Structure 1
Amino acid sequence: MVLRAQRFINQTYSNGATLGISKVPEDGRTGWTTMYALTRALQYELGITSLSNSFGPTTLSTLQSKYPKLNQSTIPSWIFGCIIQSALYCKGYDGGDIDGVYGDRVQAAVLKLKQDMGVAGAFPGSSLEPKVVKALLNMDAYVTVNNGSDVIRSIQQWMNGRYINRADFYVIPCDGHHSRDVAKSMLLAIQYELGMADGTATGVFGPATQAGLKSHPVTVGASGAWAQLFTAAMNLNKRAVPFGSFTTEVRDAVLDFQSFVKLPTTGIGDFQTWASLLVSYGDQTRKGAACDGVTRITEARAEALKAAGYKYIGRYLYNPSKTDLPEKQIQPGELDMIWLKGLRCFPIYQTWSRAADNFSFAKGSVDASNAIEWAKIHGFKPGTIIYFAVDYDAMDSEVTDFIIPHFKGVHETVEELSPYHVGIYGPRNVCQRVSDAGYAVTSFVSDMSSGFSGNLGYPMPTNWAFDQIATITIGSGDSRIEIDNNIASGRDTGQGEFNPRTPITEELDVDFAKDKYRDACLREVQTYLESIGIPERGGEGWSTDWLLLANSTTDAFNVVMNMDWLITNLARQLKIRKALIQAPLLFEVRRYGPDDPIKDELVKRGQSTDCSTGLAQMWAWVAIEARNYCMDQGIINGTRLRNPEDLRAVWDRLQDPVYNISSVAYLTIYNAFQVHLPRPTVTISYADTQKILARYQGDGPASVGYGQNLIGLYSALENYNALSRAQ
């Protein structure tokens, strides 16, 4: 029937041309495309000339003036009736035969629709009122869906039935889930109960609304609209209580909620509790014990903050701008002042974090590497939680597609390569979802942005450490400082002592300057490999197997360049040269042979226990030994691996380019130990480098020639890494 509805639109309106849209896909699936087309069709039939996807004020007022009730007697045309029938089917209700007849089946469907919405009492009968038509032409559900709460659905129905005749209140979904629309409607309901007139009640948590709530505390024994609204607000914040009167059960839940959000535990629905239930920032006059800011903490400012009751100060590890906010980054000597005054600091890492395309797994890994370096430079001790920022209103789909992969990169890098832990700064939904994925231990919640879709309709994250509620100014004169006032939960108390500040290590490798040196580096690599008998593709002079190899030198070089972000991170964290990782990686990708996929398949089938695999053609047992050695030396973190128990799991993980290339980096350190050399550094000699590279092939006779081949490749790559460092 949805397919028939789509065909009706296309056949009636010249495949959408009459409505100013493309042909509606005829797939039998309800969606916004079909609903938008039906909305435009309704506008067209109402005589509205400027058609829109939005069922806005013009559409509503025109419908109200022409047809305040649509029914069997008032439907103006069969096409108009078909639009209604099609919309009913797209909502999951029986719309009859899509013949334009407002018959018994349509009337029964409208009655059921109104009951599901909760407006059957306000709009009795089987006619369609304009606000019901508006609700019919969207994608809201009026039955519980996706494991929604039946209690929340009953709250939504109650609100619809009680307030639908107010001018600015429209039908809200009755799907059992809190949402942005429901949150705004709750504020409208509060304002209506306070006696605000239409037009004055705007759904904004302003001074008049706050003053009214201060006069309406609810306690045990309260019943009626105020008790219903309060218990509704509790349920919408995932505090399951009976909807209705304020019972002792409700009081116990209120005590628990107040304790969780760090309010005075009164057990009363007082103003501060109302505020925390209705808007993300709650009562903005609350005194916080934490703050964050972009201004240096001087002695005078530290004393002013301490006098105002602050204990924990959030400061930024790094500022990518050389001109904006010159004191945003922690300044030399600042942490000493914080320690001297008995305060504590929690670090924040934020560069470009205000759009979805700023987030990806690779960028998360890079951010993590930079944050680790700066945390060590500033002197933060092991155990510090670093808060990585998501400073924009990320849609839920963006959290799935961009933010969670980004924090996977952050988490894996921080947890494996540093003594620190990951926290997240962002809206409530972002914080909770990243934390639920296991990628953040605590949340720093940007609750000041109450209009964010990621805050509206979402409860406080379960692991919140800091709750940012207002921007205020503390002190005067030399002590004056603007800060964001934060409530502290106690889950993170920051750091009170710091290691000595360490200088920035300039000689570490940096991102490869691809725009300047990529082509020249590739030519030098090609020239070198050709000199040892490996042409751009194939190569009889090397081995007959090379005739069958799929990867060219350019292909192998591109792999190295595409993974430059990871190789740079590893080299900087391990304080080694990038070329130590690049050379064996490029060489092994280039010489990937016809036997390699056959060997892989034998392991997959269980006919073999191990083989060299992945980009860098590493054996699982070698990866286990390399990683265990680095764990034993305190170079990386993790749980020691066992052979043979973990052999297949490690072999499978070596198919992941990140795990594979990371294992190459750790193997260079292990191989230095194997050939009785000290741990490699950025000042390692070429002779020692060759010995380490040779060990990649094992300790047999072939390893000598392997090392000789790789040292030339290392030299070609290092030449251009050095040029990149010098920029």
Structure 2
Amino acid sequence: MVERAQRFINTTYADGATLGISKLEVNGKTGWPVMYALTRALQYEMGIDNLSNSFGPTTLSTLQTKYPKLDDSTVPSAIFCRILQSALYCKGYDGGEIDGIYNSRVKDAVAKLKADMGVDTVYAGSSLEPKVVKGLFNMDAYVTVNNGSDEIRSIQQWLNMRYINRKDFFIVPCDGHHSRDVAKSMLFAIQYELGMADGTANGVFGPGTQSGLKSHTVGVGATGTWPRLFTAAMILNKRNVPFGNFTAEVKTGVEDFQSFVKLPVTGFGDFQTWASLLVSYGDQSRKGTACDCVTMVTPPRAQALKDAGYKYVGRYLYNPSSTNLPEKQIQPLELETIKYYGLRCFPIYQTWSRSADYFKYSQGCIDATNAIEWAQIHGFKPGTIIYFAVDYDAMDGEVTNYILPHFKGIYRTVGENSSYGVGVYGPRNICQRVADAGYAAASFVSDMSSGFAGNLGYPLPTNWAFDQIATVKVGSGDGAIEIDNNIASGRDTGQGDFNAETPITSGLDTDLDQTKYRAEMLKDVQTYLTSIGVPETGGEGWTADGDWVTYGIVSTTEAFNLVVNADWLFTNLARTLKLRKALIQAPVLWELRKLNLLDALADEAVKNGLKDDSSTGWGQIFAWVTIEARNYCIQKGIINGVPLTSDDKRAVWNNLQEFEYNIPSAAYLTIYNAHQLGIARPSLTTSQADTQKLLARYNGTDGRAEQYGRELIGLYNVLENYNKLSRAQ
């Protein structure tokens, strides 16, 4: 029937220009494209000149003027009726045969729709009133969907029933889920109950609303609309209380909520509790004990903060700009000042982080590596939680596709390569979803942005540490400083003491300057490999197992591109492990270039259970040796992790299929090989002789391994030449 509705639009408005849209895909799937088309068709049939996807004020007012009730006697035409029938089907209701007849099936569907909306007692019968039509022509659901709450649905229906006749109140979804529209409808409801007139009530938590709420404290025994609104707000914040009167059970729930958000525990629905339930920032006059700022905490400012009752100060580990907000990054001796005045600091890492395209797994790894380095430079001790910022209003789909992979990279990198913890800064939904994925121990919530979709309709995250609620100024004269006032939960108390020693940062590898060197680097790699008998494509040679094979599944250019495209990961590893990037790049590039049919067959044998292990992935590493290498590095405190056993072999082999796991394993194997050879751990100054020994050991211990080392030291030198040029810039 949805297909029929789509065909109806396509044939009735066949030229496309009439509605100003492209032809609909006839796929039987409801969605915004078909709802927009139906909206435009409705506008066209009512004589509106400027058609729009939006069912806005003009569409509604025209409908109210021309057709205050649509039924079998008032529908102006068969086409008009077919538009309504099509919308019913796209909404999941029986629209009859889409034949232009407002028959008994249509009437029953309309009655069911209004009952689902909760407005059947206000709009009795089977006619379509303008606000019902507006609710019909969108993607809101009026039945519980996606494990929605029946209790929340009953609140949504009650709001619709009670306030639908107010001018600026429109039907909200009845899907059992809190949302932006439901949050705004609650504010309208509060304002209506405070006596605000249509046109004055605006759904904004402004001074008039706040003033009115201060005289509407509710407590045990309260009945009527105000406790009903209060318990609704509690339920929408995922508090398990009954919807209705203020009972002893509600009081217990209020006390739990107040304790959770760090309000005075009174058991009453007082103004501060109302505020925390209705808007993300709550009562902005609350005095916080934490703050964050983009200016240096000097001795006079530290004293001013301390005098104002602040204990914890959030400061930024790094600022990529030397001109914009020049004091944003922690300044020299600043942490000594913070310590001297008895304050504590929690670190924040942010570079850009203000659009979806910034966030991805690789960028998370890069940010984590940089944050670890800067935290060590500033002297933050093990156990410090670093808050990584998401400073924009990411939609839920963007959280899934961009933010979570980003934090997966952060979590893996920080967890494996440091003793720091991971925190997340951002709107409520982002913080909770990152926490639920297991990627953050604590949340720093950007609740000042109350209009963010990620804050509206979402409760305070369960692991919140700092709640940012207002920008304020404290102090005067030299002590004046603008800060963001934060409520502290006590989950993170920052650091009050800092390491004095400075970690090694000079001479480390940097990202390859690909604009300047990529083409030259590829040419030199091709020239060198050709000189030792490895052409651009194809080739033959001995394997480590003594088999003569034809290789060349991957060309030299393809292998090179894979390695250079993953330059971020090689750089991260080199900087973290304090060794030369080319020492990891050379064997990985070589193994990619030498991939052959026997490698593929061996992998298939493992997948099919015929073998328990094979050399696999980019670096062609066995799971058993990966286990030994990782365990050695864990034992020596080089990386963090739980020691692996032979029972983990298949899981490790599976992980080796991901280059993000395979390449670090190649690096750890190189360190382990140094131990096996009895030579010094690879460093920034490892000699050519030892480098060749390490490259040879990557392939084993026999004569072929020695040849492997002789061949790879030349490739190493080509790669290192361009890494060195990039370091020098």
Shorter-chain TM-score: which interval?
over 0.9
Kindly state the Cα deviation for residue 163 of structure 1 after the two structures are TM-superposed.
0.4
- Does 2:661 align with 1:662? no
- Does 2:719 align with 1:712? no
For 1:691, give the aligned amino acid: K
For 1:704, give the aligned amino acid: E
Q: Secondary structure at the match of 1:18?
A: coil
User: Could you tell me which residue of structure 2 aligns to residue 696 of structure 1?
Assistant: 698
Distance 1:243 1:720, change over 3 A: same
User: Could you tell me which residue of structure 1 aligns to residue 310 of structure 2?
Assistant: 310
Distance 1:423 1:540, change over 3 A: closer
> For 1:472-491, what aligned pairs fall within 5 Å after superposition?
472-491=472-491
Distance 1:502 1:307, change over 3 A: same
- Does 2:577 align with 1:574? yes
User: Could you tell me which residue of structure 1 aligns to residue 405 of structure 2?
Assistant: 405
Q: Secondary structure at the match of 1:120?
A: coil
CA distance in 1, matches of 2:147, 2:496: 45
User: Could you tell me which residue of structure 2 aligns to residue 676 of structure 1?
Assistant: 678
Kindly state the Cα deviation for residue 519 of structure 1 after the two structures are TM-superposed.
1.1
> For 1:213-252, what aligned pairs fall within 5 Å after superposition?
213-252=213-252
For 2:561, give the aligned amino acid: N
> For 1:174-573, what aligned pairs fall within 5 Å after superposition?
174-500=174-500, 502=502, 505-539=505-539, 547-573=550-576
Q: Which moved more, 1:311-320 or 1:603-612?
A: 603-612
Q: Which moved more, 1:684-693 or 1:377-386?
A: 684-693
Kindly state the Cα deviation for residue 534 of structure 1 after the two structures are TM-superposed.
1.1
Q: Secondary structure at the match of 1:176?
A: coil
- Does 2:130 align with 1:130? yes
CA distance in 1, matches of 2:258, 2:21: 51
Q: Secondary structure at the match of 1:584?
A: helix
User: Could you tell me which residue of structure 1 aligns to residue 49 of structure 2?
Assistant: 49
Show CA shifts across 1:42-96 (max 9, x none): 0000000110000000000111111111111111111111111111111111111
User: Could you tell me which residue of structure 2 aligns to residue 587 of structure 1?
Assistant: 590
Q: Secondary structure at the match of 1:387?
A: strand
Q: Secondary structure at the match of 1:425?
A: strand
CA distance in 2, matches of 1:291, 1:537: 59
Distance 1:302 1:503, change over 3 A: same
Kindly state the Cα deviation for residue 548 of structure 1 after the two structures are TM-superposed.
4.4
For 2:654, give the aligned amino acid: D
Contact 2:383 2:421 in 1 (8 A): yes
Show CA shifts across 1:293-335 (max 9, x none): 0011111111110111111100000000111000000011111
CA distance in 2, matches of 1:294, 1:384: 20
Superposed CA RMSD in Å reads 1.2
Distance 1:15 1:245, change over 3 A: farther
Kindly state the Cα deviation for residue 506 of structure 1 after the two structures are TM-superposed.
2.3
- Does 2:614 align with 1:611? yes
Equivalent residue pairs, number:
726
> For 1:33-72, what aligned pairs fall within 5 Å after superposition?
33-72=33-72
Q: Which moved more, 1:334-343 or 1:186-195?
A: 334-343
CA distance in 2, matches of 1:88, 1:715: 70
Q: Which moved more, 1:306-315 or 1:537-546?
A: 537-546
Kindly state the Cα deviation for residue 206 of structure 1 after the two structures are TM-superposed.
0.4
CA distance in 2, matches of 1:628, 1:331: 39
Q: Secondary structure at the match of 2:18?
A: helix
Which structure 2 residue ranges, 5 or more long, are not aligned?
A: none
For 1:560, give the aligned amino acid: V
Contact 2:539 2:551 in 1 (8 A): no
Q: Secondary structure at the match of 1:14?
A: coil
- Does 2:638 align with 1:635? yes
Contact 2:697 2:709 in 1 (8 A): yes
User: Could you tell me which residue of structure 2 aligns to residue 723 of structure 1?
Assistant: 725
Kindly state the Cα deviation for residue 542 of structure 1 after the two structures are TM-superposed.
8.0
Kindly state the Cα deviation for residue 15 of structure 1 after the two structures are TM-superposed.
5.8
Q: Secondary structure at the match of 2:466?
A: strand
Identity of aligned residues (%): 71
For 2:452, give the aligned amino acid: F
CA distance in 1, matches of 2:566, 2:551: 25
- Does 2:600 align with 1:597? yes
CA distance in 2, matches of 1:472, 1:419: 34
TM-score, normalised with respect to structure 1: 0.99
CA distance in 2, matches of 1:716, 1:380: 38
Contact 2:551 2:595 in 1 (8 A): no
Show CA shifts across 1:640-660 (max 9, x none): 0112x1111111111110110
Structure 1 stretches of 4+ with a deviation exceeding 6 A read 541-544
Show CA shifts across 1:675-717 (max 9, x none): 1112111011111111111110112222211111111111111
Contact 1:242 1:250 in 2 (8 A): yes
Contact 1:545 1:593 in 2 (8 A): no
Kindly state the Cα deviation for residue 503 of structure 1 after the two structures are TM-superposed.
6.1
CA distance in 1, matches of 2:240, 2:176: 13
Show CA shifts across 1:581-619 (max 9, x none): 001011111111121111111111221121211111111
CA distance in 2, matches of 1:488, 1:372: 24
Kindly state the Cα deviation for residue 97 of structure 1 after the two structures are TM-superposed.
1.5
TM-score, normalised with respect to structure 2: 0.98
Distance 1:540 1:251, change over 3 A: closer
CA distance in 2, matches of 1:105, 1:503: 76
Q: Secondary structure at the match of 1:386?
A: strand
Q: Secondary structure at the match of 1:17?
A: coil
CA distance in 1, matches of 2:281, 2:23: 45
CA distance in 2, matches of 1:594, 1:141: 54
Distance 1:407 1:15, change over 3 A: farther
CA distance in 2, matches of 1:594, 1:610: 16
Q: Which moved more, 1:629-638 or 1:526-535?
A: 526-535
CA distance in 2, matches of 1:112, 1:715: 76
Contact 2:234 2:277 in 1 (8 A): yes
Contact 1:15 1:22 in 2 (8 A): no
Show CA shifts across 1:125-167 (max 9, x none): 2111110100000010111111111111111111101100101
Kindly state the Cα deviation for residue 545 of structure 1 after the two structures are TM-superposed.
5.5
Q: Secondary structure at the match of 2:458?
A: coil
Kindly state the Cα deviation for residue 212 of structure 1 after the two structures are TM-superposed.
0.2
CA distance in 2, matches of 1:418, 1:61: 62
Q: Secondary structure at the match of 1:208?
A: helix
Q: Secondary structure at the match of 1:240?
A: coil
Kindly state the Cα deviation for residue 625 of structure 1 after the two structures are TM-superposed.
0.8
For 2:693, give the aligned amino acid: K
Contact 2:369 2:572 in 1 (8 A): yes
CA distance in 1, matches of 2:3, 2:515: 52
Distance 1:92 1:539, change over 3 A: closer
CA distance in 2, matches of 1:476, 1:237: 39
Q: Secondary structure at the match of 1:345?
A: strand
CA distance in 2, matches of 1:638, 1:393: 34
CA distance in 2, matches of 1:675, 1:526: 31
CA distance in 1, matches of 2:468, 2:541: 67
Contact 1:9 1:15 in 2 (8 A): no
Kindly state the Cα deviation for residue 501 of structure 1 after the two structures are TM-superposed.
5.1
